[in-house]
Structure 1
Amino acid sequence: MKFWFLSDTSRLIKEKNEIEKLQLTAAWLEETEWILDDGLALIAKIKSHGHLYEVKLTYPPFFPSTPPMVTPMEEEADWSSHQYENGSLCLEWGPDNWYRSVTGANMLESTYRLIYMENPLGETGEKHLVISRHFLTQGQNLRNKIFRLHVEPELLNIISNLQENYVANIKFVFIFGDRKTAVLHVLEIEDIEGSVWENTSLPDDIKPNYELTGLLLKTDLSSTEVEKLNTINQWEQHYDTESINPLSEEKLIIAMDNENNPHVLMSSTSKEKLFSIPLVTEEHKERLPNQLVGLNEKKIGLVGLGSLGSKIAQSLARTGVRKFYLVDDDVFLPGNLVRHTLDWKSVASHKVDAVENQLMNISSAVDVEVSKINLSGQEATTSLNTVLSKLGNCDLIIDSTANPRVFNFLSAVGTTYGKPMVWGEVFAGGIGGLIARSRPKADPDALTMRKGFNGYTMHLPEFEFKIRELYATEDQQEEVMVASDADVSIIAGHLTRFVLDTVLQPGQSIYPYSMYLIGLSNSWIFEAPFDTRPVHINHLPDETETVENEEERNRTIDFIASLLEKSDD
């Protein structure tokens, strides 16, 4: 361990001088003694209202970058309302407002002011409430709480405006998100007239297959009076038990006091005793930028749910996409854990099914259709055409397979249906990646862009890695090189932004090019990580090339008309 007082002797001298100066000028500081106790510490006796308070000022290893700690010498001494569970006093300076010029002497002065105002040992004399210099965050308040009730802002607004003597049933569930926390969620509020509110935010996939029954009531009791009621029998005196359904063995009561403050009480078993649990909610805030408005109406077709595709799908769902058509026939295996968004719970499942569940757990409003068709494999032609037709009905198509045969099919879909297509690839070895798009009437079709890219790369240095498998290469020493999760995530992030820009702003893109090479290392054509090379491909088809002559057009119309006449017969 490094001792600060050995490496920073000038600060040690300053600390000693300030303590000596304080002892000469402050009548309340009676004795001090320096000690070594896993570091440097000072024992001090503070006199206040005729009582002696013995404290230990402990300098931490990182002093003066972090503040000293002051604790009572007597174990389990409960002196102040400004005292942490470990016994240390919450003084005027702490980790949140500390600066290096504050000394141990300043901390002792703050200790004296706190003791003098609160007068903890004095049976007589004035005792004053010392206002806290800070507030605890929700996370700090909850870190030792196993049970919590999560309440939607909409529900909190409803229960905060109840009429007096209102009583209703609560349908609720326990959800164990981890091994340390049990979260209660309200599913429905139902009074004598029927359902008042229903939770539409909680994804169905995480709801357990049972519902418990609790109680909601508005009282005319004060907060203090409510806190004294801690048994079921006591509460039954304050509402008509016949106006609601019987409560479950696991009790939950949400009681509003006369100032509309919620009090949450529960019992985890059939015991009569109730205990208070915290209520967790959030203030409604718009967390997505305005330019993403309308994204929930767009349907995205995504082919390939590997490490790249899974990251794109998840990011799009978090950004506001609510309609997906996902295509992939592959199964998730333990080897995929190093780069995929899925985890062990999905091993041996089809990737497309597991990603579907993942998206629906992000938002209950997500609507996902899936297909396990292998677009480049042995499949019935009717199945292939059905999938391609459904992709054509999407607002945008994404190819994240890096498979040339799949690319050909999707390019045909985009051209036939006049839909934009976005594709990307992580280069083997994690040296970089490609993102590209083809927009109707703004870019060449996808096949033309790929041909243009192949022509572009012919003028570049030879790619020195032999491709072994997707995301893996072998360098000249025959060592397998693979892309990391971070590499894939970077390309996925760029590709997702490309998708959003394409589907929402087709006429005013922020991207001056429709194809980019993005470097992640000093390799191939890239001079450094994040070296980005735009690829300019602007060969739009000549419309005159696709216009039939008048004779061919008339012959085609006559042929179709003859077929229509036959169908009428």
Structure 2
Amino acid sequence: MIWWLENPTRARTERQGVANLAERVAWLKGVRWHLSNGAALAVDFEIEHDGDSVPLTMTYAEFHPNSPPIVLPRDGSRLSNHQYGAGGNLCLEYRADNWETSITGAMMIESAHRLIAGERDVEGPELPSAHAVSLGQSVRGSYFRFLLTRQMEERLKAIAPGQSFEIGIAEKYYADTFTVTIIETDGVTDGRAWPAGIRETTKRGQAIRLPEGTAMPAATQAGIADLLGALGLGALREAALAASGEMDLVLASATETAHFYAYDAGQKRVFGRSRLLKVATSDRLPDDYSLLAGKSVGIVGCGSLGSKLAAMLARAGVRMFTLVDDDVFFAENLVRNELGAAAAGVHKADAVRSRLIEIAGTIDVTVRRVALGGQESADSTDSVMSALRACDLIIDATADAHCFNFCAAVAKESLKPLVWGEVFAGGIGGLVARVRSGHEPEPQAARNQINAWCNAHGVPAPLAGLAAPYEAATGSARPLVADDAEVSIIAGHLARLATDVLTLPEDSAFTAPAYAIGLRKAWIFSQPFETWPIELAGSAPWKAEQDPASVADSLALLRELLPSAFDGHDQPSE
């Protein structure tokens, strides 16, 4: 809908406001209203200052009065330093970042007058700029970018002025952007710049610490060659003047660092300067999350819930994983999975491993393509259980009772905490739970209590079924199916339980060990996001210490089974 047809009262108010301004001031002339392209309401006007007449056009935005009009020179000229390029719109006092619907077109015209008069009054004070440009705005037209860490910047500035030395550079091409960074200086290497799953090109370059007072050159062949010649670097100067060939040159001064490049494009050698991106070093995670790098997590089930959970924990700082899943990823799984289309036909555990490397880079991931609780050899099952026992936390993301039995057995035997969860059938909500020895009952008892709680509400509990765990029957012919957002919400709650267990093993930010989270009005949930805490009875340690009599029985059994291993060595000496 055209705004001025939908809101004619505002349109008349705008016209009257400009007319009143023209009657009140002498500098506003030539007001003429018209419709521009797309039936946009526009007004031509002229601002007179010191005998000059500046022709301007103000065009009201499609979403006016919720967005500001555009004011630009009618002759396409560059009028001001506060302007988006030659012929571009003026950057006035009222802009998208401070716009309010109470601002009128007359106020915009007055602001344009203050800008033009202020810049043309030579003896007056310089007009302040409120034009702040974000990093993204500054580089959105630059497809060659130079990533510089604070540590690397300090290394470059520590070099003696005028000195040139060889460096190692890594370059990647991703999302139509070339990004380069330094990975080696003066023989000291930082290894790969990006995770192994990302294709990078490594090459040699030169870095030079500029003497004080030396300006950065123009990003041209002549500009770079002239600088190298002035510094007495003849061999590099000849390389710059060559008719072809790649070149990477990093120049560092006391105030800035820049990357210059050359490459062959057809019959032409192109020179340029990458846009600098300084890498922030601030920590964006809670302080206690630093512990997670030293923790290992075993995740059984790399499907929709498990894949998202693994990615969240990697982003939180976990760097050691054991992933267990025998299933293969298909395109149909894309609707609610952390993995992308490239993973089709790959074992889910392998694909999740690649995804974790893509997220975190250096990471230790053990993959087991085994169906824990399925038809596997006893050796395979025992081996997987041994791998899980070595983890600091075990997570069951399968919603499979058989698999839970094995995870629970490992947790109880090793006294390791166990976290599990599931998305309720149809995505109406989900369940998350955790148990720790000495704080909650042992896993099987805890699961039984939770299932009893779920079934005690007089309505069948929507626990996930084995055949279609994300679907539930409805009154219509179409099943109710969980979507990606619903799975992600439960995965997020499960990840928070996991990080809580790892960072606060003897304490907890959660008042209950288990929660039922509602995402639809169904079952016991009266509305979305309704949460029910589930209390569990029992907190005794899961295993009692062996008493001396039990130890003696164990030794006696061992002697019976392996008599030759003892060979009398277990008898007291004469």
Q: Judge same fold: TM > 0.5, yes or no.
A: yes
1:19 equivalent in structure 2: 18
Q: 1:30 to 1:473 in 2, by over 3 A?
A: closer
Counterparts of 1:338 and 1:358, CA distance in 2: 17
Counterparts of 1:493 and 1:522, CA distance in 2: 20
Q: 1:556 to 1:323 in 2, by over 3 A?
A: closer
1:488 equivalent in structure 2: 487
Query: Aligned match of 1:144 in 141, 156, 178?
Result: 141
2:233 equivalent in structure 1: 240
Displacement of 1:294 after TM fit? 0.8
Partner SS state of residue 205, structure 1: coil
Is 2:423 the counterpart of 1:432? no
Displacement of 1:51 after TM fit? 2.4
Partner SS state of residue 110, structure 1: helix
Q: Which amino acid aligns with 2:245?
A: E
Is 2:92 the counterpart of 1:91? yes
Q: State percent identity of aligned pairs.
A: 33
Contact 1:30 1:47 in 2 (8 A): yes
Counterparts of 1:245 and 1:365, CA distance in 2: 40
Contact 1:323 1:366 in 2 (8 A): yes
1:216 equivalent in structure 2: 207
Contact 1:148 1:182 in 2 (8 A): yes
1:203 equivalent in structure 2: 195
Counterparts of 2:554 and 2:191, CA distance in 1: 57
Partner SS state of residue 45, structure 1: strand
Contact 1:399 1:424 in 2 (8 A): yes
Q: Which amino acid aligns with 1:84?
A: Y
1:78 equivalent in structure 2: 78
2:286 equivalent in structure 1: 289
Query: Aligned match of 1:265 in 260, 263, 277?
Result: 260
Counterparts of 1:228 and 1:420, CA distance in 2: 59
Displacement of 1:363 after TM fit? 1.7
Partner SS state of residue 431, structure 2: strand
1:401 equivalent in structure 2: 398
Number of residue pairs matched by the alignment: 555
1:255 equivalent in structure 2: 251
Instruction: Give the TM-score, by structure 1 length.
Output: 0.89
Displacement of 1:255 after TM fit? 1.3
1:332 equivalent in structure 2: 329
Q: Which amino acid aligns with 1:387?
A: V
Is 2:457 the counterpart of 1:452? no
Partner SS state of residue 459, structure 1: helix
Counterparts of 1:157 and 1:560, CA distance in 2: 64
The C-alpha deviation readout for 1:37-56, integer Å capped at 9, x for no partner, is 22222111122343221110
Query: Aligned match of 1:185 in 157, 174, 181?
Result: 181
Q: Which amino acid aligns with 1:283?
A: A
Counterparts of 2:158 and 2:119, CA distance in 1: 38
Displacement of 1:536 after TM fit? 2.2
Contact 1:461 1:525 in 2 (8 A): no
Q: 1:473 to 1:53 in 2, by over 3 A?
A: same
1:567 equivalent in structure 2: 565
Displacement of 1:279 after TM fit? 0.7
Is 2:338 the counterpart of 1:346? no
- 128-137 vs 482-491, which moves further: 128-137
Displacement of 1:549 after TM fit? 8.2
Q: 1:29 to 1:555 in 2, by over 3 A?
A: closer
Spell out the pairing of 1:219-230 with structure 2 (5 A cutoff).
219-220=210-211, 222=213, 224=215, 226-227=217-218, 230=221
Q: 1:411 to 1:175 in 2, by over 3 A?
A: same
Counterparts of 1:244 and 1:407, CA distance in 2: 68
Displacement of 1:367 after TM fit? 1.4
Instruction: Give the TM-score, by structure 2 length.
Output: 0.88
Spell out the pairing of 1:496-535 with structure 2 (5 A cutoff).
496-535=495-534
The C-alpha deviation readout for 1:102-121, integer Å capped at 9, x for no partner, is 322222222223333444xx
Displacement of 1:244 after TM fit? 12
Q: Which amino acid aligns with 1:383?
A: S
The C-alpha deviation readout for 1:527-560, integer Å capped at 9, x for no partner, is 21122222222135699x9688876654434344
Partner SS state of residue 283, structure 2: coil
- 287-296 vs 216-225, which moves further: 216-225
Q: 1:526 to 1:347 in 2, by over 3 A?
A: same
Counterparts of 1:547 and 1:277, CA distance in 2: 65
Partner SS state of residue 370, structure 2: coil
Segments of 5+ residues of structure 1 without an aligned counterpart are none
Counterparts of 1:558 and 1:290, CA distance in 2: 51
Q: 1:62 to 1:478 in 2, by over 3 A?
A: closer
Displacement of 1:291 after TM fit? 2.8
Displacement of 1:201 after TM fit? 5.5
2:114 equivalent in structure 1: 113
Q: Which amino acid aligns with 1:290?
A: D
Counterparts of 1:391 and 1:549, CA distance in 2: 27
Displacement of 1:143 after TM fit? 1.3
Q: 1:485 to 1:17 in 2, by over 3 A?
A: same
Counterparts of 2:550 and 2:57, CA distance in 1: 100
The C-alpha deviation readout for 1:1-27, integer Å capped at 9, x for no partner, is 322365251x44443343234323433
